[in-house]
Structure formats: C-alpha cells, structure tokens
Amino acid sequence: MADPASITVAIPAFNEAAVIGSVVQAMALAAPWREVLVVDDGSTDATAGAAAAAGARVVSHPYNKGNGASVKTAIRAAAGEWLVIVDGDGQHRPDDVLAVTAKLGEYDLVVGARAPAAQATPGRRLGNGLLNALASYLTERRIPDLTSGLRGARRELLLEFIHLLPNGFSTPTTTTLAFIKAGYNVAFEPVQVQPRVGTSKIRLARDGARFFLILIKMITIFSPLRIFVPLSALSFLVGVAYGLWTVAHQSRIPNGAVLLLMFSVIVFLVGLVSEQIASLRLEGRR
C-alpha cells in the first residue's frame, strides 16, 4: 500500500464553486495526503477561491481547456509519487478513494469501477457497456469500467503516457488502455458513486464518438493486429464466398471477389507492419 504522505489527490474542476469546497474538505479529512491539488480549468465562477479557502493548492488555467488538459496539468504539477484523480462534482466518496489508494503499490494503476446501475441514464449505461465490451475484446482483459474518473496511478508512469492523453473527456479511456497494453499492473476496485451536483458536462453523442475513436486509436498504437486481423479475415471470407457463388452460378470469377481477396492480403500485411512498429515503440519506452 502506498503511503498517503506520498499521494497527491488531484481534482480537475470547471465551474464547481457550489461543491468544490466540500469535496476538498472531505478528501483532506480522509487521510494525511501529501497534498490536495485542484486544477481550475478556466472557471467563470468562484471555483478557485472556494478550493483555496478549503485548503487545496490551486493551479488555474487562464481559459477552459478540457478535463484531459486539467489532468495533464495535475500530472506535471503534483508533488506526490502517486496521483489519485477525483472528480470535482461530489460523486466520489472518501471511503472509495481510500479503497483505491489501498491497492497502489501492488498495482501501478487502480481504477474505481462503478456498477452499471450507477450510470446516470439508460443511454449512458448502454454506451459505456458497449465501450467496455469492445475494450475487453481488444485488450484481452475484462474491463468493467473504462471511463471512470476515479483512478490512482504512479505519477512517473502517467508522465510516460502524457503525450497520448487528449484534452477532452477521454483521458480515463486512454490511461486504462495504455497501462494494460504496456504490461503494467492494473486493478479495478468496485466503488459507489453519489449523485453529482449540477449537470454533467459530458454529451453522449459527441463524447461517446470520441471515446470510441480514442479506443480504436489506442489499440492501433499498442496492439494493431486485434483490429487488422478481423478486418482481413472478414474481407477474405466474403471474397471467397462471393467468388464460389459466382463460379457455381455463372461459371466465372468476378472482379469484386478478386478485389476483396487482394484487400484482405493488403490489410493483413499492413497489420503486420503496424504490429512491428508497435513493438519497437514499446521496446523504446522508458
């Protein structure tokens, strides 16, 4: 277990003046952390002042950059060896933060995994369920909650992947996939969430599409054959089936079947090259 004195609790916040003070106080009372750090993402209300008054160290952006940019600022500014990221809207309980930090040291990344019923709306539950299922297939590891904002990790390893982190709401997705595919120890700790104060800044259609694209991007970076081989196999099987059907009924080999077979070979070869590039990237990392 990581010593609380070596842990920075980081809270990205944007226009959370109504709740940020109580969040900071609750986190500060939970354990003797190295620090509670609030990154004010260009709020137009009194978020920074309320956080400072509650005892947090505050780093402010001059304008709104996005949740991911706030997390990157926290990674760079944190004084602790470990970094625990907590949402600034009051969803995360101190007990769950302690449960996550209890596994740090044994694990390099610990994600607070919410139960499906804890998702705010049926649409979000369905979207997150599909993302979790796709991520589990692509990583060959069961992922119960890909997008949870509550997570703790070794700061040095977060710095290793900071160039991959987007500025928007896909940072949890990226860090989870990057740690798993890089071979680091990752655990999922079941947690409960409380109703957030205010309205969510995530939009299902817009940010769901971004999560999906980030998911595909990360797998093509770390394990591209998980995408290229199924595409190649599908094209090959369709080409063979189309060719055999046409030969049987029209006694000729159609151009479409030939193109599908050629496409399957090209996709497979591109996948092999991409896999070699991914291996070289991983061998060259710190």
Per-domain boundaries in the chain: 4-222, 225-283
- Measured N-to-C along each axis, helices 122-139 and 171-181 cross at an angle, to the nearest 10 degrees, of 20
Over 70: is that where the pLDDT of 36 sits? yes
Rounded-to-integer distance, Cα 268 and Cα 263, Å = 9
Confidence of residue 23 (pLDDT cuts 50, 70, 90): very high
How much is the pLDDT for 284? 46
pLDDT of residue 231 exceeding 80? yes
pLDDT in tens, 90-117: 889 999 999 999 999 999 999 999 876 6
Residue 282 confidence (pLDDT) above 60: no
Helix (H) and strand (E) counts in the chain:
10, 7
For 152-175, the pLDDT digits (tens) are 999 999 999 898 888 876 788 889
Q: Which of 145-154, 161-170, 216-225, 263-272 has the lowest mean pLDDT?
A: 216-225
How much of the chain, in percent, has pLDDT values that exceed 70?
86
How does pLDDT run across 187-210, given as a tens digit for each residue? 999 998 876 565 555 555 555 576
Closest CA to 82 of 32, 164, 153: 153
Other Cβ atoms closer than 10 A to 125: 15
The answer to whether the CB of 276 falls within 8 A of the CB of 251 is no
Q: What residue ranges in 140-210 does DSSP mark as E strands? A: 151-154, 186-191
Q: What whole-number percentage of the chain has pLDDT above 90? A: 56
The pLDDT of residue 56 is 95
For residue 36, give the nearest of 69, 72, 71, 79 by alpha carbon: 79
pLDDT of 162 reads: 92
Fold (topology level) of 4-222: Spore Coat Polysaccharide Biosynthesis Protein SpsA; Chain A (3.90.550)
- Name residue, tokens 């997150």: 128
Return the number of other C-beta atoms located less than 10 Å from residue 122's C-beta.
Answer: 8
Q: Pick the range with the lowest mean pLDDT from 29-38, 208-217, 270-279.
A: 208-217
